[in-house]
Amino acid sequence: MNEWSVIVMLITLGGGIIALVRPIATLTKAITELTVTCKNLDGQFAAMQNKNTESHRRIWEHNDEQDKRLNDHEARLQNIEHGERRNTHESN
């Protein structure tokens, strides 16, 4: 082997190492960025879940209030209807 063969071999070996290291470094950077993004999303989802829980609680409270009002109105209508029937029967 002469000197030029050794130099070509070293250059080839260096190029091969660079060819391997560059994608590994890029992948490592991408994985790190994805990990940070996933942690941020996890925090955002937890906050959203808390907000949704509170929102659903308020909706169900409002629903219960509406049910009470509806039942009260139904009872009042029945009282009016039964009162009218008694009055019409008493007139006859």
pLDDT by 10s per residue, the chain, length 92: 788 888 889 999 999 999 999 999 999 999 999 999 999 999 999 999 999 999 999 999 999 999 999 999 999 999 998 886 665 555 55
Q: 0.85 exceeded by the pTM? A: no
Buried b (16+ CB within 10 A) or exposed e, 54-88: eeeeeeeeeeeeeeeeeeeeeeeeeeeeeeeeeee
Chain CA centroid to CA 41, Å: 9
